[in-house]
Structure 1
């Protein structure tokens, strides 16, 4: 009896399938999401809210002081700017907005110094100036993508950076 019931159920299921239909999507016009800039940001290490962060800042100042090669200096300043950007983003996720703003602002000041060094490098007509300029332009787009429009003082720094990259 039980086998007959199961068999009957299977036969009826094949003859009269129960259809479940998904709702057809309606055509909607929306703006496409802006494509993210293909620029990888570095790992920031310890954040400014860590008790040993002061050691990191001392190390960075020493490295900055002893970097004499103009190309290496631009690369170092860009690295510091990128790290500060990531630190600020992580601090925002931790809801520490004031420290995030300060950290990002310091990073953009590093970026501004990098563009000023690039201007000096290009005046010396060194070949690496064009390569570094393109790298800084890509980094600028990434910084603008992450920070753009959040704080007026940082936006002013970004405008100065853009002027130096022309």
Structure 2
């Protein structure tokens, strides 16, 4: 009986360790053509490698781990960074799912990823002081990369999935507007100094 408990404990710790190991980053570069069709540009931003995709049998364990991590993180800055990481992983996972011809799951995954970015924007209001400009720029660059990838996924899919990706891009633009509004909003202390 004691050996069974020890074996179970070792197995549990092994699985938890594998799930908690920081995953490597992937460099996602896709062409985004802006107003000038002859000059494609790339948004230089690294999307984190998602590890397990939503079609993996252990994916629910990963989601549970992520929810626990979000729940126990009390620092708004760290929680915002966590949500950004989750968004990056979700957007890249959606692209990988489209590559696997699983567009429906890809659209759902991308929608959940953008929801994480919305949760990130809500964390800004919990910051004890206004973040540096570099943090805002990082968020805007990340959102631009997300929109770039989502636009490419919209072109690679049809029907409801393409419409979903288009909707997610609009959500992303609204999130960027929230970030910009928060960045330009004066704090109470700043208004007293004027």
Q: TM-score range by the shorter chain?
A: 0.7 to 0.9
Cα deviations by residue, 1:13-47 (Å, 9 ceiling, x for unpaired): xxxxxxxxxxxxxxxxx943421111011111010
Give 1 or 2 for the bigger CA radius of gyration.
1
Cα deviations by residue, 1:42-86 (Å, 9 ceiling, x for unpaired): 111010000110110000000000010111011000000000001
Q: How many residues align?
A: 134
* Higher relative strand content: 2
Cα deviations by residue, 1:78-130 (Å, 9 ceiling, x for unpaired): 00000000100000000100000000000000011112212442xx424x343
Q: Which structure 2 segments of 5+ residues have no match?
A: 1-35, 155-164, 181-194
Does the CA-based 8 Å contact 2:114-2:168 persist in structure 1? yes
Q: Residue 143 of structure 2 corresponds to which residue in structure 1?
A: 140
| CA RMSD, Structure 1 to Structure 2 (Å) | 1.7
**1:165 has 2:179 as partner:** yes
Runs of 4+ in 1 over 4 A off after TM superposition: none
Q: CA deviation at 1:157?
A: 1.2
2-structure distance, mates of 1:139, 1:119? 19
TM-score, normalised relative to structure 2: 0.64
Does the CA-based 8 Å contact 1:118-1:132 persist in structure 2? no
TM-score, normalised relative to structure 1: 0.75
2-structure distance, mates of 1:119, 1:139? 19
Q: CA deviation at 1:165?
A: 1.7
Higher relative contact order (CA 8 A, sep 6+): 1
